């Protein structure tokens, strides 16, 4: 008779918590928008990037330009890993700023939680349409 058992020996490491696995594999909110799982107004697209309206606008025109890949968490990683894709993101920002405002715009990449980043799938905020405040901080 076999003595094989599925019981864990007390010396075995504990199993990996499912929540940690989920956190590692769960697509970002922007990937879910790109897939159509979450509704959003897509206002522009290139081969490797897309643009949407921010759900909580902080300027008369507030758009997000996002690489289709979520491989890069922030703009520093993007610049190091794929400078051509960063150039494509900036080009799309320029295009949508011209289409949705007068072409002048402010481009912001929050980088790190301490700078206000909440979605760790790199994205550019395009603020336009009459920016009255003169401060970059706050
Ligand atoms: P961060 O704070 O990471 O720089 O910017 C994330 C941005 O994504 C925020 O401005 C937030 O309003 C926006 N955002 C978060 N969830 C959604 C969503 O489901 N739809 C859209 N359109 N924007 C979102």
pLDDT tens figures, 79-93: 999 999 999 999 999
pLDDT of 135 > 70? The answer is no
Ligand 1 atom closest to the CA of 52, numbered from 1: 22
pLDDT given for residue 130 in this prediction: 85
Residues 6+ apart with CB under 8 A from 93: 51, 63, 65, 105, 107, 124, 126
Contact indicator for 104, 128 with CB cutoff of 8 Å: yes
pLDDT given for residue 6 in this prediction: 45
Of 77 and 10, more confident: 77
pLDDT given for residue 114 in this prediction: 97
Residues labelled catalytic: 123
* Banded pLDDT at 29 (limits 50, 70, 90): very high
pLDDT of 7 > 60? The answer is no
Q: Which residues pair with 63 in a beta bridge?
A: 53, 126
* Banded pLDDT at 132 (limits 50, 70, 90): confident
Interatomic CA distance for residues 105 and 27, integer angstroms: 29
**What are phi and psi for residue 88, nearest 5 degrees?**
-65, -40
Instruction: Taking residues 27-49, report their average pLDDT.
Output: 97
Give the distance (Å) from ligand 1 centre to CA of residue 54.
Answer: 6
Sign, CA torsion 98/99/105/108: negative
Sign, CA torsion 85/47/103/52: negative
Tokens 């336009």 — which residue? 128
- Atom 8 (ligand 1): residue with closest C-alpha? 54
List residues near ligand 1 (CB under 6 A): 29, 38, 40, 52-56, 64, 110, 116-119
* Banded pLDDT at 120 (limits 50, 70, 90): very high
pLDDT given for residue 107 in this prediction: 97
Helix (H, G, I), strand (E, B) or coil at 106: strand
């Amino acid at each position: 008779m076999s003595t094989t058992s599925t019981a864990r020996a007390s010396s075995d490491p504990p199993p990996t918590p499912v929540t940690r696995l989920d956190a590692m594999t769960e697509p970002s909110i922007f990937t879910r928008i790109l897939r159509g799982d979450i509704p959003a107004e897509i206002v522009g697209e290139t081969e490797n990037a897309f643009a949407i309206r921010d759900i909580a606008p902080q300027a008369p025109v507030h758009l997000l330009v996002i690489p289709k890949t979520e491989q890069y968490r922030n703009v520093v990683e993007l610049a190091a890993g794929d400078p051509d894709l960063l150039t494509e993101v900036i080009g799309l920002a320029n295009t949508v700023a011209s289409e949705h405002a007068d072409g002048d715009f402010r481009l912001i990449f929050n980088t790190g939680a301490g700078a206000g980043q909440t979605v760790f799938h790199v994205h550019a905020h395009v603020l336009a349409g009459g920016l009255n405040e003169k401060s970059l901080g706050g």
